[in-house]
A and B are shown apart, each in its own frame.
Chain A
Amino acid sequence: MTKKSSKKKVPGKASGRKAASKSPVSGSRSSAGKKSVRQRKIAARTKARIMVGMGTCGRAAGGVKVFEALEQLLKAGKVKAELEQTGCIGMCSQEVLVDVQLPGRTRVLYGNIKPVKEKHIKVLEQIVEKHLIGNSVVKEHVLGQIRPTDGEKPFDDVPYYEELSFNSAQERIVLRNCGSMDPESIDEYCARDGYKALTKALKEMTPDEVIDEMKLSGLRGRGGAGFPTGLKWGFAAMSKADEKYMICNADEGDPGAFMDRSVLEGDPHSILEGMAIGGYAMGAHTGYIYVRAEYPLAVKRLNIAIAQARERGLLGKNILKSGFDFEIFIKQGAGAFVCGEETALIASIEGKRGMPRPKPPFPANHGLWGKPTNINNVETLANIAPIILKGGAWYAGFGTEKSKGTKVFALAGKISNPGLIEVPMGKPLRDIIYDIGGGCPGGKEFKAVQTGGPSGGCIPASLIDTSVDYESLAQAGAIMGSGGMVVMDENTCMVEMARYFLNFTQEESCGKCVPCRVGTKRMLEILERIVDGKGEEGDVELLKDLGEDIKAASLCGLGQTAPNPVLSTIRYFRDEYDAHIHEKRCPAGVCKALFQYKVEDPFCKMCGLCVKKCPVGAIQGGAKKLAKIMDEKCVKCGVCIEVCPFDAITQIDAREKVEV
């Protein structure tokens, strides 16, 4: 039913683009002339608009309170404005973000609005008074203005948002709508060319042409493995079966990664559109979104989006009168990291224990319920609509020879501007860490960056000019992964960091295969020994040896990559391991078993503040008596160092103190 042998022409329409504007995509207001939907929408906007960043991140920072405060201010009736919520624009360090747009003027972003303090409510009042009523910006809190696209008048002396150092190196294809529109409004999505790609695919392209366009784009799976999406769709299309399935893998689980969540919360329709196009290309009529139950807002917005799309006839039977049927269902995961592995994910949807199975057979032949199944990651699917609309060649214009397009990263850790960023492939790490991320906070020295989450590897400062693409990262001993990027500074202990990531993967191992189940546990125990000052000669060699065997023998990607953080830190930071093992010293001063606090006699003024503040009563003295730290009681929380007004308490190596 869905396979078309030739291009379909819409009767009476010269081009597909016009056909698109006549479709349900543009809602009931489709009869306007040559103006684009977007222009019409802008022109029709007579009311001022306020948008509050209310992804999970924005909410955590107090977005709901800001929203309510603004609601109250608007109720006062001085001025009328539409109050809307939007998804994450990526600038985590500036949450809560509030955007204001007056009719005919550029959209202005205000940042760092904390709802808890009285003075921030004042800022909101100022924004209402000065910006909404007075038509001028509140300079102190402004971040920037969005470059005008439809003849809006810009404000003087306000930097363009796109030119902020955080944004200058970015290229937003996946995140095109995140933080710029109301994710619960299908109209807004449509006004931003939403569902035009689906219309184009259904009306003007055969399934084979869609697959060819994907192949041309060079898009590779953004879940981590980097398999070419066009090829994957091609395999699923070639499989003959009465039923096929299209699955969106939204089981994002890497510590510190929030790319998929932001897209699902900020632009859910882009995923539905990508899935429908994929379904059309391979002949699938049913889609599943496997999303973590820990992402309730994403689930809620997906449900809203699915209902809206069904209502508009963009999902369901006979989509856009093309004869193509496609339904999407949501399956919530129960929180197992391994369910991000495709065969485990399929088992989980089928109601079985989420355990990977060996491949072959591959899901493209034998997947969900034994039928041909295609699984794409959220970010991959968010790329589909722009590729179909603008062409594979356009997309292939970004990136490197083998790694095309852009990649979204969740920049986290010891970085001045943490956030969600999207850069063209091939960008040097340096640009990401310094130009976008602003380097390590407090002028600390950059030490390394962990890419690819717990399955990835760390790249040391000496390799900061590594190009961010699949091949270069692999060469450096890391992986692209799904896009976590955790930055470490001079105060990060690399052994402890490796222990942290391995602790995560070994806890998330499903337990099916021996190398992963027992091997990662044994590696973790060795690492725990080392950070505890009980490392032994030969431990590093044992870690390397066991790590290589686990990588070689494990059943699925989890075990095959779990030793990476350990192996890559041994590769680049062997000296830190040796210091822990042989000198019983943690060079970064992080491992608690390897340092102690010492009161420097001449500096202690016997004020007793440390005695009072110590949460475990480990300090004696005060009131004209020299402070004395009882090492056996001390939990090394560092409160005494923080509170001492005279910097009289210092951290020393555990061995040093013994010698003293």
Chain B
Amino acid sequence: MKVIIDGKVIDAKPESTILEAARKEGVHIPTLCYHKKLSPYGGCRLCIVEVEGIPRLVASCTTPVTEGMVVRTDTEQIKKVRKTIVELILSNHPNECMVCEQNGRCELQDLAYEFGLKEIRFVGEKNVHPIQNQNPLIERDYNKCILCGRCVRMCDEVQGVGAVDFSQRGFHAKIATEYDGVLSCEFCGNCVEVCPVGALTGKISRFKGRSWEAKKTKTICNYCGCGCTIIMHAKDGQVVRVSHSEDTTVNEGCMCVKGKFGFEYINHEDRLKTPLIRKEGKLQETTWEEALGRVAENLARIKKEYGSNSIAGLSSAKCTNEDNYVFQKFMRTVIGTNNVDHCARY
């Protein structure tokens, strides 16, 4: 389908929105409420464009392309309106970028920079919300919330939980849990991932390092056989944060509570790094040779004394499918029992 954006003829996919078509061709249109994994919302109004034949400016994130559509994304009016919108958002936003966890990866900050907003024309009431951090993982600072609704849609559309939604209305509209209670959800942290500002942050990562200081390593989550792609952020040899990968991989950029927040064990002092054997009533470090030798010895003895079915094997979800396959094969053929199970069933 042919669409003309800023004078350039573009071949757009039917069904795609103006925003998708424009971005595919590298045309810059600012957004805040748009997220490619979520349904279009049309709330921030930053992506407004002019379409020939439509008297009003339209939100490009919600308007589908039509054959021969003529779109302008950069008229003086559009630039002016976008700037006003960013000013309005900033007029109800704390000016504390210096200590904000999102500093450096904040989409609002980028827009303020893009529009060169050193001062804003509007001064008035700011919403004041208590910081919600009753749980160990996610801190919600709704003073910074811009009501883009990404967290609401992520929780509802992708995660299928619906732990948060809009409440109140007008200037006092806010994101809230049921009856303003504590966050009661799976703590997958996908809301934190899609929050464009510093309203939702992972508590474990707070003040552990600026976004630009961390070395980012794309890797596979080792918690289970799903094999989610994740990005580890490490500063001074310590993992400080895990974020999702934009790549289209098995997890499509989503994570669960373990992948997102369960990284502290890596540098934890209690982490086991060598096998332990109980000697004289005390667990003592040993070598793999000794440990495996002790296991083989005991398995052989028990099998001989009490029979194969006196032994049961329990494997871990952290192992790969291949590991688990080998494990059950070992139990059935070497030990000779069907008593084999997996921790994910408990």
Q: Is B113 an interface residue when CB atoms closer than 8 A count as contact?
A: no
Kindly supply a per-residue 1/0 record for chain A positions 540-563, scoring 1 wherever the CB is within 8 Å of any chain B CB and 0 otherwise: 001001100100111100001000
Known: A525-B124, A546-B84, A555-B59. A515 touches B45 (CB 8 A): yes
A529 nearest in chain B by CB position = B124
Q: Which residues of B contact A336 (CB under 8 A)?
A: 169
Which of B45, B56, B173 has the most C-beta atoms of chain A within 10 angstroms of its own C-beta? B45
The listed residue (B59, B81, B92, B125) touching A358 by CB distance below 8 A is B59
Q: Which residues of A contact B124 (CB under 8 A)?
A: 521-522, 525
Binds A, one of B36-44, B212-220, B265-273: B36-44
Q: Is A350 an interface residue when CB atoms closer than 8 A count as contact?
A: no
Are A511 and B64 closer than 8 Å at their CB atoms? no
The listed residue (B42, B77, B91) touching A552 by CB distance below 8 A is B77
Known: A517-B173, A522-B122. A553 touches B42 (CB 8 A): no
A517 vs B169: C-alpha distance when bound (angstroms): 9
Are B169 and A509 closer than 8 Å at their CB atoms? yes
**How many residues of B are counted as interface, with CB atoms below 8 angstroms from the partner's CB atoms?**
36
Q: Is B315 an interface residue when CB atoms closer than 8 A count as contact?
A: no
Q: Is B62 an interface residue when CB atoms closer than 8 A count as contact?
A: yes
> Please, could you name 19 A-B residue pairs with CB atoms under 8 Å apart, sorted by A?
A355-B166, A357-B42, A358-B59, A508-B169, A511-B168, A511-B172, A512-B166, A514-B88, A515-B88, A517-B173, A518-B122, A519-B88, A522-B88, A525-B124, A552-B48, A552-B57, A552-B81, A554-B45, A560-B56
A507 vs B173: C-alpha distance when bound (angstroms): 10
A352 nearest in chain B by CB position = B165
Q: Is B121 an interface residue when CB atoms closer than 8 A count as contact?
A: yes
Are A509 and B91 closer than 8 Å at their CB atoms? no
Q: Which residues of A contact B56 (CB under 8 A)?
A: 552, 560
- Which of B's residues lie within 8 Å of A, judged by CB? 40, 42-45, 48, 56-57, 59, 62-64, 77, 80-81, 84-85, 88-89, 91-92, 121-122, 124-125, 146-147, 149, 165-166, 168-173
**How many residues of A are counted as interface, with CB atoms below 8 angstroms from the partner's CB atoms?**
33
Q: Is A360 an interface residue when CB atoms closer than 8 A count as contact?
A: yes
A358 vs B91: C-alpha distance when bound (angstroms): 25
Q: Which residues of B contact A594 (CB under 8 A)?
A: none
Are B42 and A521 closer than 8 Å at their CB atoms? no
Q: Which residues of B contact A512 (CB under 8 A)?
A: 43, 147, 149, 166, 173
Q: Which residues of A contact B149 (CB under 8 A)?
A: 512
Given A358-B42, A512-B149, 9 further pairs, Cβ under 8 A: A511-B171, A514-B89, A518-B122, A518-B171, A521-B170, A542-B121, A553-B45, A553-B84, A553-B85
B39 nearest in chain A by CB position = A357
B172 to chain A, nearest CB (A): 7
Residues of A480-512 at the interface with B, using a CB-CB cut-off of 8 Å, are: 506-512
A549 vs B48: C-alpha distance when bound (angstroms): 12
What 3 pairs across the A-B complex have the smallest Cβ distances?
A511-B173, A358-B42, A358-B62
Are B173 and A510 closer than 8 Å at their CB atoms? yes
Q: Is A513 an interface residue when CB atoms closer than 8 A count as contact?
A: yes
B32 nearest in chain A by CB position = A514
B177 to chain A, nearest CB (A): 15
A523 nearest in chain B by CB position = B122
B157 to chain A, nearest CB (A): 14
Which label, helix, strand, loop or mixed, suits the secondary structure of the B interface?
A: loop
A648 to chain B, nearest CB (A): 42
Q: Which residues of A contact B43 (CB under 8 A)?
A: 512-514, 555
The listed residue (A338, A521, A542, A555) touching B171 by CB distance below 8 A is A521
Are B91 and A518 closer than 8 Å at their CB atoms? yes
A382 to chain B, nearest CB (A): 30
Q: Is A657 an interface residue when CB atoms closer than 8 A count as contact?
A: no
Q: Is A119 an interface residue when CB atoms closer than 8 A count as contact?
A: no
Which of A355, A510, A511 has the most C-beta atoms of chain B within 10 angstroms of its own C-beta? A511
Are B169 and A510 closer than 8 Å at their CB atoms? yes
Q: Is A353 an interface residue when CB atoms closer than 8 A count as contact?
A: yes
Known: A353-B166, A511-B166, A552-B77. A522 touches B91 (CB 8 A): yes
Q: Which residues of A contact B89 (CB under 8 A)?
A: 514, 518
Q: Which residues of A contact B125 (CB under 8 A)?
A: 521, 525
A360 vs B56: C-alpha distance when bound (angstroms): 13
B82 to chain A, nearest CB (A): 8
A512 vs B169: C-alpha distance when bound (angstroms): 8
Q: Which residues of A contact B81 (CB under 8 A)?
A: 515, 549, 552-553
Are B122 and A514 closer than 8 Å at their CB atoms? no
Q: Which residues of B contact A508 (CB under 8 A)?
A: 169-170
Which of A338, A508, A509, A560 has the most C-beta atoms of chain B within 10 angstroms of its own C-beta? A509
Q: Which residues of A contact B62 (CB under 8 A)?
A: 358
Q: Which residues of B contact A521 (CB under 8 A)?
A: 124-125, 170-171
Known: A511-B147, A553-B48, A555-B43. A518 touches B172 (CB 8 A): no
A593 to chain B, nearest CB (A): 18
Q: Which residues of B contact A520 (CB under 8 A)?
A: 170-171
A506 vs B48: C-alpha distance when bound (angstroms): 22
Q: Which residues of A contact B121 (CB under 8 A)?
A: 542
Are B170 and A507 closer than 8 Å at their CB atoms? yes
Residues of A544-597 at the interface with B, using a CB-CB cut-off of 8 Å, are: 545-546, 549, 552-555, 560
Are A549 and B57 closer than 8 Å at their CB atoms? no
A512 nearest in chain B by CB position = B43
Which of A336, A506, A521 has the most C-beta atoms of chain B within 10 angstroms of its own C-beta? A521
B147 to chain A, nearest CB (A): 6
Are A360 and B169 closer than 8 Å at their CB atoms? no
Q: Which residues of B contact A522 (CB under 8 A)?
A: 88, 91, 122, 124
A124 vs B56: C-alpha distance when bound (angstroms): 58
A423 vs B121: C-alpha distance when bound (angstroms): 45
Residues of A38-64 at the interface with B, using a CB-CB cut-off of 8 Å, are: none
B46 nearest in chain A by CB position = A514
A184 to chain B, nearest CB (A): 36
A502 to chain B, nearest CB (A): 12
The listed residue (B45, B165, B168, B169) touching A514 by CB distance below 8 A is B45
B88 nearest in chain A by CB position = A518
A2 vs B169: C-alpha distance when bound (angstroms): 42
Are B42 and A546 closer than 8 Å at their CB atoms? no
Q: Which residues of A contact B44 (CB under 8 A)?
A: 513-514
Q: Which residues of B contact A353 (CB under 8 A)?
A: 165-166
Q: Which residues of B contact A560 (CB under 8 A)?
A: 56
B77 nearest in chain A by CB position = A552
A506 vs B62: C-alpha distance when bound (angstroms): 24
Known: A522-B88, A522-B122, A525-B125. A555 touches B42 (CB 8 A): yes
